[in-house]
A and B are shown apart, each in its own frame.
Chain A
Amino acid sequence: MNTTVSPPPEAAARPQSGKPGGRQGFSRKRFRQNIPLLAMFLPVVAFYVIFKYAPIAGNVIAFKDYNFFDGVFGSPWVGLHNFELLFTQSRTLSIIRNTLMLSLLQLLFGFPAPIILALMLNEVRKVLFRRVLQTIVYLPHFFNWVIIGGIVVTVFSMEAGTINHWIERWFGEPYPFLYKPISWIAVFVSSGVWKEMGFGTIIYLAAMSTIDPGLYESASMDGASKLRQIWHITLPGIRSIIVILFILSTGNIMEVGFDQVFMLQNGVVSDVSEVISTYIYRVGLKGAQFSLSAAMGLFEALVGLVLVVAANWVARRFDQGLF
């Protein structure tokens, strides 16, 4: 029976390769051989169908005046009315701008950070030291934003904050980190980078471990310094991973995770801190204006789609396209 555990060699090959031996059409025998694999695949398909594809149909409520009782399909059509209403509200444009700005900043600082950290970890010689270090930098990822947000707000607060305690001692006046737009953005972006940086290194470290050690050996024999080795061996070795992850993160540009911004925002900085996800929570979930917030969500998704396609187009120029 152990033949069923490992797939036949043809299954592992890419379909595009068009092997002459590959049989066309449905084969009962091959299907039966692969039942365990298909069974394992089924929950994944179910996940995507139920939570990713089927809800797309729910977007029709963006063009309807949705109410609970008439439901998604029974509610009356209103055309583009929700979009019109959305763009007559004073904050809509600044909400979209903030979403773009915060996520671009997150991408700008958050994307290179794990790569740099992974390069540094990769060069650590003492295994024990490296393991301890890795565990410590992974740790924040596993805490909920409610906890991290509470810590961040306390650290940067004016009365009880550790940082302001010292600022007050040296300069006399505490600095309102969370009330100034610039410093708030800095706190927001850096806390996000700090939380996810360590965990993000996993993928890069795994990619680095696949690089042939022989390359490093011959490079050092040729007299290449550590930095040269990183530049000419490590980075090219993980280039395809970097590009793939970059394309995927562009898809997120229109998305600022709800938890982080909700925990950290306050009224004074709402000019820069109000984003689409908090708007949807406030107006959609709390105010039950589902159609209006679905319109906002749909708009967000469209922009996200355009950005992903554009990023992929650029990547294809460098022969690294994802699709």
Chain B
Amino acid sequence: MYGKHHILILGAKKMNKKGFVAAGLMLSLAIAGCSSNDGGGSADNGNGADGNEPKEKANISSAIYDRGSVPAAEGSIEDNRWTRWLSENGPANVTFTAVPRWESEDKYNTLLASGSAPDLLFEYSPAIRNIWYQQKQLLPLDELIEEHSTSYKAMLEDYPALRKAGTLDDGKLYYFGRLNEVVPNRAVLIRKDWLDKLGLEYPKTTEELYEVAKAFRTEDPDGNGKDDTYGLAVSGNSTRTLDQIFQKMGFVLRDDEIVYAWDSFEEEASFMKRLYEEGIIDRDFLNDKNGENARQDFVTGKLGIYPVLLNWKTFTTNEYKTLKDNVPDAEIIPIPYPESRAGAFTPTFANPVQMTAAINRGADNPEAVMAYVDFLIEPSTGQTLKYGVEGEHYEMGENGCPVALDNDKTEQVGYTVDLQMLMTAPYVLEGKCGMESEFNPEVPLEQEGLDLFHQGLEAYIDLDRPYSEITISEHMPQMPKELQTTLGETNKTIGDLYSKAIVSGSNYTVQQALEEAQKVFQNGMGPEAEAWLKDWYANNKDTAFLAEDLYAVIREQQGIDK
């Protein structure tokens, strides 16, 4: 009896792993059975209703990212006033499936493996979408668009780049996308008031970055007499921003040639090691995997330099507002990326041609999904989702752009950003109502946010500087499955050696880490990946969307002459 009890406990533990996949597969059999029945049923209904005059709306399902940002009074991300609005005003009844924003790959894989994934899939990451493609989970869209689409078809004709970006290596179109206003998506923010207090200039090189960070750590810039400030944040999203400064981006483009940036690895590791050993950064950064501690340090006024991934508007209303509430005198400015040995770079920009959606091959009614997509990309739909109802949530400003009303209904809008994943920026279509117009200058905080945004444009739209990556990461080609998996393991090992070099003092030097990492690279299909990428670059450099194409779009949108 005791034995049996124990077996049960073991069994429960085992479910976590191997059992998981297998159980998922079993479930998939069961659920696949159910859903195909459902499918047959609803298709019959559709045909039956065809003869009647008021055509019944089809039932479709759609994924929606869950960022946990829906106010409690508004319901849930799957069921709120705007999801209901979509079903009422759109061409189909939509059921939403929540996908946790930062664990979307696990969630999608589980949904797809069990056959319960929604008809319309939304995902920003091309690596994750590529898995769906490899798993033969996507519906080719060419015919569907040709025969059933209106608005998206027209858009494809007006903007051929959308077709190009959505077409995969078998020559078929798989992804829906949108056009964006190009703004900087990453920035290095620094406490201007601390700089002034200590009589320092903002850092222009990585050496100065070290010195300023050190001063912020040791010279008590917040003046509270306590040794409680950090110079620089290095965890979470700050990691990649710093990597860009040093161009520690793995494979990079130098003199029109693809190379692995080992010198950047060495330089950044030495930089970080110094900061770690002198206690300038939070030494627990490796356990702050999502960067939440760094964010806390920033908004409580304990952090001097904050490299971020940001949306300027939401940053203003969230982090910046909290910082100002906690430390009213705080003043921040964005600074250009400091120059490293590899050069001085621009940060990540918003992707001008961004693929965001695909149709699940198991969708019962692709035509209805197509109609829903056509409805989603209508500018009027986007405007409602973004700003709400005119007169209730916003009014038209003098410049012809919606201005949010400052009333008790402000909570009712603003959480629908992921319903707008197919919304093309009006700024691209009509050249107005860009990100600038999202700030309401009458609200003092938003005016400050607008100033910050303007400073950001000035600091980062400096197109004489090179882009730190080969292209926007979403436009990077996807390697063959096995190469990608093995290279993923190799990169993880190299990343771990890098961390080890930072925290291990004299026991494990940067030089040792570099040598070991190069060995791992050699044995872990690194050279094969390099050859593959070189080959791709040689064959596609004229047609692929590369950094120079990005710069061309920025010049056009910002009206900059070359």
Contact = CB atoms under 8 A, between A and B. Distances in A.
A binds B: yes
Contacts, number: 163
A55 B19 contact: yes
Contacts of A280: 17-18, 21
Nearest to B282: A159
Interface stretch (A6-14, A119-127, A228-236, A253-261): A253-261
Interface stretch (A28-36, A104-112, A284-292, A312-320): A284-292
A292 B488 CA distance: 14
Contacts of B29: 72
B134 A244 contact: no
Interface of B: 2-3, 5-7, 10-11, 13-23, 25-26, 28-29, 105-106, 109-110, 112-113, 131, 134-137, 282-284, 286-287, 361, 481-482, 485-486, 488-490, 492-493, 495-496, 498-500, 503-504, 520, 523-524
A248 B3 contact: yes
Contacts of B492: 91, 270, 282
27 contacts: A52-B11, A55-B19, A56-B22, A58-B22, A58-B26, A61-B25, A69-B137, A85-B485, A88-B486, A160-B284, A244-B3, A248-B6, A251-B10, A255-B13, A255-B17, A267-B495, A267-B496, A268-B503, A270-B492, A270-B493, A271-B500, A277-B16, A280-B18, A285-B21, A287-B485, A294-B21, A294-B22
A297 B21 contact: yes
B489 A91 contact: yes
A297 B18 contact: yes
A203 interface: yes
A196 B499 CA distance: 32
Given A59-B22, A68-B137, A255-B13, A270 B496 contact: yes
Contacts of A51: 11, 15, 19, 23
B26 A268 contact: no
Contacts of B113: 68, 290
Interface of A: 47, 50-52, 54-56, 58-59, 61, 67-72, 85, 88-91, 153, 157-160, 174, 176, 178-179, 203, 206-207, 241, 244-245, 248, 251-252, 255, 257-259, 266-268, 270-271, 276-277, 280-290, 292-294, 297, 300-301, 322
Which one of A55, A203, A252 has the highest number of Cβ atoms from chain B below 10 Å of its Cβ?
A55
A206 B17 contact: no
A-B pairs, 10 with minimum CB distance: A55-B22, A297-B18, A58-B22, A69-B136, A267-B499, A158-B283, A267-B496, A288-B131, A270-B496, A68-B135
Contacts of A267: 286, 495-496, 498-500
Nearest to A301: B18
A144 to B, nearest CB: 12
Given A280-B17, A285-B106, A289-B485, A68 B283 contact: no
A62 to B, nearest CB: 10
Given A259-B16, A289-B485, A301-B18, A69 B361 contact: yes
A109 B67 CA distance: 41
B283 A159 contact: yes
Contact of B286 (A174, A179, A203, A255): A179
A292 B484 CA distance: 13
Contacts of B13: 252, 255, 257
A42 to B, nearest CB: 15
B21 A203 contact: no
A258 B18 CA distance: 11
Contacts of A85: 482, 485-486
A282 B134 CA distance: 17
B23 A69 contact: no
A259 B11 CA distance: 15
Nearest to B507: A180
Contact of B112 (A56, A68, A277): A68
Interface of A is mostly: helix
Contacts of A257: 13, 16
Nearest to A157: B284
Contacts of B105: 285-288
Contact of B499 (A160, A251, A268, A287): A268
B136 A70 contact: yes
Nearest to B127: A287
B518 to A, nearest CB: 13
A90 B493 contact: yes
B118 to A, nearest CB: 14
Given A68-B135, A287-B105, 13 more contacts: A50-B26, A51-B15, A68-B113, A69-B135, A90-B520, A153-B284, A158-B283, A207-B2, A248-B7, A257-B13, A280-B17, A287-B131, A301-B18
Contacts of A159: 282-284
Contacts of A153: 284, 287
Contact of B490 (A50, A90, A157): A90
A176 B136 CA distance: 46
Nearest to A244: B3
B23 A55 contact: yes
Given A160-B284, A176-B283, A203-B2, A285 B20 contact: yes
Contacts of A301: 18
A267 B482 CA distance: 23
B541 to A, nearest CB: 28
B129 to A, nearest CB: 11
Nearest to B521: A90
A179 B284 CA distance: 9
Nearest to B117: A68
Contacts of B495: 267
